[in-house]
Each structure stands twice: as C-alpha cells, then as structure tokens.
C-alpha cells in the first residue's frame, strides 16, 4: 500500500488485517500526532516518488495486492496548467508503480479515485472532464490503470465521495465548512442540492472488498447515504451546538456569482484550481446521489453510524480551529 498512514489507507489496512491479510506500506513521515496505526502493518517511511524501481520492486516482491491510497485532490491550487500537478502526483508515478506491480506478479490492484469521474460518465452534458482539470485527471488515471486489467491482474477504481470520520492529528477536509458555518452567525447560507457520502469505516470496507472480490477491470461508484445539503447541515448544526440555526438554500445562479470572486482572486494570485468553481456550480447545486446497492452487493459494505462520524469530524474541526489540536495537513504521498 502507498499511503498507509493516511485516513483512508490506515482504515483500509485495519480492515484487511482483521480479515487475515498481511500489509506493508510506504508513507511519508511523520505520523499524525495521536494517530494509532493498524497493529501488524509493516510501515516504511519514505517518498515513493523518489524511490528507485529496484527499491519499489523490493517492497512489492511477494505481494498479491497493491493499493494506491495517495496523491492529491481537488483542493490543491498551483500555477497553470494545474493538470500538470495532478499528473505529477496521481497519474505519472502510478503508471510506474503499475508497471512494477505487473513485473512483480501482483494480481489485485485497488486505486482510490473520485466520484466526480462517475458523474462525468453519467452526465456527459456537464462536460466535467473538459472543464475541470482535476476531474480530467481522475478520468485519465482510471483509464490508465484499468488498461492493465486482464487475465493476470484485476484492477478496481473506487470512485469515492465525501467521507466522514477522523484520524487524530489529521486535518479533516470539512474544517473549511465548520469555519464558514461559525462565521455565519444568524443563518447558514449554502447551495441547494446534495451529495452521497460514506463513513471512513465504510471506505475501509470498500478497499478490502475491492481487493478481495473484484474480477477484471472495474470502476466502482461509491455511495451509501444520500443527503441534501440541508439534511447534512442540520447534522453539522447539531454537533456545533446550534441545532435551531436557519439554513438558506441559494440557487445555481447565486452560487455562480459568488464563485466569480473566487476565480478572480485565483487569477490575481496567478494560480489555478482543480475545479473551475464558476462552472462547478451546476454540479454543486445538483443531487449527486449514488445507489448503495453497488457497494453493498459487490463489495460487502455494511451500514454505519453516519451521525457519529459527522460528529467526530465536526469536533476535530473545532479543536483545530480553536488551536487545541496539532495536525498534519493535506500532502502528496
């Protein structure tokens, strides 16, 4: 596994170890403060981007499976074209790893991708891969790894949605939202629409299920709980202690206008985001729902306590914002 100390990687390793598998991982130091790694995972600190082919072959030799739980997501900003950064972390190095895995006789591969790629397929009218560099990179990543699938290798791409749950010392992706809600004193203003979501425990089950069950090359759209943004925000409000706070849902065109200021600021700073947030308004204000039947029947994912997972995420976000927690932020493994 690449990225075994991360939120998703460590949960996947934990689930696989519980099922009797032996896990070795390469990950960047340091360990998040207070984080407990899965007992039994053999961990090597290092940057796979700078390891030689021989060094990687040494780690992969004798392994039946390979899990890529690293890379960067859409929150990254950088000089245009930002696609080059996504290629640097999410595609180019993974192709090298796939080549080595094939030489080493690895039979099962799981790559953690994005559910935006699923909606790129199901909503061609949105032209997501054309408009958004991050989504294009996830499409290209999936197509690249799936090209290795065949009689000798099974390849699964998990198209992951928003995920709730925490790892001590690791900054949740939801910190920005908690900060926004706290700033809006009387009413929380948010787009209409909604999304599918899972807990981190379910993400671990997806990883293990895909490694054990997938045959051939497949994308797996991952979703279990389909909530409107209002329904999700009500859970946030409860755990923030403002259960009665009003929520105002704004339509597409209002969100689009607000995002123009963000894009203008990016241009001023001479950076580009993975998502064109003005065009992304169509996506953000839609219902990005996925039928849980796929991961339940094909990957063996079980129900979990979403409320508790959101509550844990919100609490850690508050601790970070209040300076009560030392954290590791997002990085490229």
Tell me the mean pLDDT in the region 108-135: 97
- Are the C-beta atoms of residues 24 and 41 closer than 8 Å to each other? yes
Tell me the mean pLDDT in the region 123-136: 97
* Res 75: pLDDT: 87
* Res 325: pLDDT: 62
Lowest-confidence segment of 12-21, 176-185, 278-287, 321-330 by average pLDDT = 321-330
Q: What is the pTM of this model?
A: 0.94
Residue 189 structure tokens: 């203003």
Q: Is residue 151 part of a domain?
A: yes
Q: Is residue 17 part of a domain?
A: yes
pLDDT band at 66 (very low <50, low <70, confident <90, very high): very high
- 97 Cβ contact partners less than 8 Å away, ≥ 6 residues apart: 2, 48, 56, 66, 68
Q: Is residue 1 part of a domain?
A: no
- Residue 282, domain extent: 7-321
Q: How many CB atoms lie within 10 A of CB 226?
A: 17
Q: Is residue 332 part of a domain?
A: no
Tell me the mean pLDDT in the region 133-151: 97
Tell me the mean pLDDT in the region 42-61: 95
CA 38 – CA 11 distance, rounded (Å): 8
Q: Give yes or no for residue 278 having a pLDDT over 90.
A: yes
Q: Give yes or no for residue 313 having a pLDDT over 60.
A: yes
CA atoms within 13 A on the CB side of 57: 9
SS3 307: helix
CATH code for position 150: 3.40.50.720
Q: Give yes or no for residue 80 having a pLDDT over 50.
A: yes
Tell me the mean pLDDT in the region 176-200: 96
Q: Is residue 329 part of a domain?
A: no
Q: Is residue 160 part of a domain?
A: yes
Q: 17-41 pLDDT, tens per residue?
A: 999 999 999 998 888 888 888 999 9
Q: Is residue 328 part of a domain?
A: no
Tell me the mean pLDDT in the region 168-174: 89
- Are the C-beta atoms of residues 272 and 266 closer than 8 Å to each other? yes
Question: What DSSP state is assigned to residue 48?
Answer: T
CA 113 – CA 73 distance, rounded (Å): 9
Q: Is residue 326 part of a domain?
A: no
For residues 263 and 303, which has the higher predicted lDDT (pLDDT)?
303
The whole-chain average pLDDT of the chain stands at 94
- Are the C-beta atoms of residues 17 and 207 closer than 8 Å to each other? no
Residue 152 structure tokens: 């000798």
Q: Give yes or no for residue 88 having a pLDDT over 90.
A: yes
Beta strands in 205-333 (DSSP E): 217-221, 225-228, 246-250, 272-273, 287-288
Tell me the mean pLDDT in the region 157-177: 94
| Number of domain units in the chain | 1
* Res 332: pLDDT: 42
Q: How far is CA 312 from the centre of its chain?
A: 18
Question: What DSSP state is assigned to residue 328?
Answer: B
Q: Give yes or no for residue 326 having a pLDDT over 90.
A: no
């Amino acid at each position: 596994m690449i990225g075994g100390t991360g939120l998703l990687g460590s949960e996947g390793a934990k689930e696989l170890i519980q099922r009797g598998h032996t896990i070795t991982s390469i990950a960047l130091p340091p360990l998040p403060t207070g984080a407990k790694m899965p007992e039994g995972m053999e961990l090597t600190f290092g940057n796979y981007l700078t390891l030689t082919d021989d060094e990687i072959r040494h780690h992969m030799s004798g392994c039946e499976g390979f899990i890529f739980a690293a890379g960067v997501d859409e929150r990254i900003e950088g000089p245009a074209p930002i696609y080059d950064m996504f290629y640097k972390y999410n595609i180019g190095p993974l192709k090298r790893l796939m080549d080595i895995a094939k030489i080493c006789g690895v039979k099962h591969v799981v790559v953690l991708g994005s559910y935006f790629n699923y909606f790129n397929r199901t909503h061609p009218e949105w032209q997501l891969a054309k408009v958004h560099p991050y989504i294009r990179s996830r499409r290209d990543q999936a197509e690249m790894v799936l090209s290795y699938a065949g009689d000798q290798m099974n390849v699964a791409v998990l198209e992951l949605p928003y995920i709730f749950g925490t790892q001590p010392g690791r900054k949740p992706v939801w910190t920005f939202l908690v900060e926004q809600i706290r700033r809006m004193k009387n009413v929380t203003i948010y787009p209409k629409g909604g999304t599918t979501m899972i807990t981190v425990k379910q993400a671990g089950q997806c990883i293990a299920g895909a490694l054990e069950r997938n045959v051939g090359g497949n994308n797996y759209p991952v979703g279990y709980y389909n909530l409107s943004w209002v329904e999700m925000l009500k859970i946030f409000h409860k755990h923030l202690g403002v259960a009665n706070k009003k929520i105002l849902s704004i339509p597409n065109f209002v969100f689009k206008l607000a995002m123009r200021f963000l894009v203008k600021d990016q241009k001023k700073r001479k950076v580009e985001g993975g998502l064109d947030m003005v065009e992304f308004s169509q996506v953000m204000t839609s219902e990005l729902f996925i039928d849980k039947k796929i991961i339940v029947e094909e990957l063996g994912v079980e129900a979990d306590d979403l409320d508790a997972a959101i509550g844990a995420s919100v609490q850690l976000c508050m601790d970070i914002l209040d300076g009560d927690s030392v954290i590791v932020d997002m990085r490229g493994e």
